[in-house]
Amino acid sequence: MKLFAYSKWDSVSVAAALLHLAFNIYLIAGFESRPLWLSFVLACIYALSISWNINSISHNFIHTPYFKPRWMNYAFSLLESITIGFSQTYYHWVHMRHHSGNSDRPDESGKTVDLLSIYKHGKNGEPENVFSYTFLSFFRDDLGEIHRAIAAKRPFEAKWGRIELIAFIVVALAALAYDWKATLFLVPFYYLGNCLSSLNGYYEHLHGDPDEPIAWGVSSYKSFYNWLWFGNGYHAEHHYRPKTHWTQLPLLHDRIKDEQEKAGTHVISTCHALGFIAKENLAKETLSGEGTR
């Protein structure tokens, strides 16, 4: 029986997800035996790990489900939900809306197809401020609306998403019962991890072109970033051909790089989360500032 649907390299992503869950358990189980300063350092890593998982393992799983047997994909979706702290199934729906709109600008009624669009809460057709996008996006998801939208077409998926949420809540309550101090200590870092994911998403589209498919996303070709984040740096390529497996994105880039250059596809020299210091972004902001004088 074939285990992996697309590539045996996905076994690395699966192993990384299991290690992430084990790390989360260790954060709680070993809290009392560690000095507070070390728990703080590990909690910062925990926050980073949430963004890392969402934008690599969890994200790639949406587009190219890792396993051939469907039940294994459901099981992995449940595991991911417990690990990152929200329903993978709900995230799947929101992310598919993201790809339907590709960070589109609001229409005449002020609505966007993409619920995650950096323009959704902006003004005058401009992107939202990075600070509000980063720190408020966590509170903007309407779980009831998401559930109803999924249930309208895929009732079982909606039920599974609810099961994932319940499973996470049960695990969180068990963690509270085991060590309430450790669990409450991690809550702010859980929020911070989701903020870091939003920050990452912001710079995946800042200075992208919502009207040009090959330039919808913003790419970063830093080798270490793409190794650690399982190809997430190839974001323009990913939005252009979202069904391409993450291991094939460099080859896709080689095939379309001339077209990308002609279309003005934005590329930054940092990882996405550090886009606020990318010289390419700073240069565009300088030009924009000069243009408004």
Both 13 and 148 in a single domain?
Answer: yes
H/E element holding 244?
none
Determine the pLDDT at residue 288.
Answer: 67
**For residue 193, is it within any domain?**
no
Determine the pLDDT at residue 293.
Answer: 45
Determine the pLDDT at residue 1.
Answer: 75
Both 181 and 135 in a single domain?
Answer: yes
Per the CB < 8 A criterion, the answer to whether 90 and 145 are in contact is: no
Both 122 and 231 in a single domain?
Answer: no
pTM > 0.75: yes
Per the CB < 8 A criterion, the answer to whether 197 and 54 are in contact is: yes
By residue range, what is the domain housing residue 268?
204-293
> How far apart are alpha carbons 65 and 59 in whole angstroms?
10
| Alpha-helical runs (H) found in 54-179 | 59-63, 70-84, 88-101, 130-136, 143-153, 155-178
Determine the pLDDT at residue 286.
Answer: 82
Tell which of 135, 151, 185 closes a domain: 185
Cα-flanking dihedrals φ and ψ of residue 109, to 5°?
-90, 0
**For residue 198, is it within any domain?**
no
Tell which of 124, 153, 185 closes a domain: 185
Both 16 and 114 in a single domain?
Answer: yes
Question: What is the mean pLDDT, run by run of 10 residues, along the chain of 293 residues?
Answer: 94 99 98 97 99 99 98 99 98 98 95 97 95 98 97 98 98 98 98 99 98 98 98 98 98 98 98 98 79 48
Tell me, rounded to whole angstroms, the distance of Cα 101 from its chain centroid. 16
> How far apart are alpha carbons 112 and 137 in whole angstroms?
15
Both 55 and 141 in a single domain?
Answer: yes
Per the CB < 8 A criterion, the answer to whether 207 and 220 are in contact is: no
Both 280 and 138 in a single domain?
Answer: no
Three-state DSSP state, 219: strand
Contacts of 289 (CB under 8 A, 6+ apart): none
Both 62 and 117 in a single domain?
Answer: yes
Number of domains making up the chain: 2
Tell which of 185, 215, 249 closes a domain: 185
Per the CB < 8 A criterion, the answer to whether 184 and 178 are in contact is: no
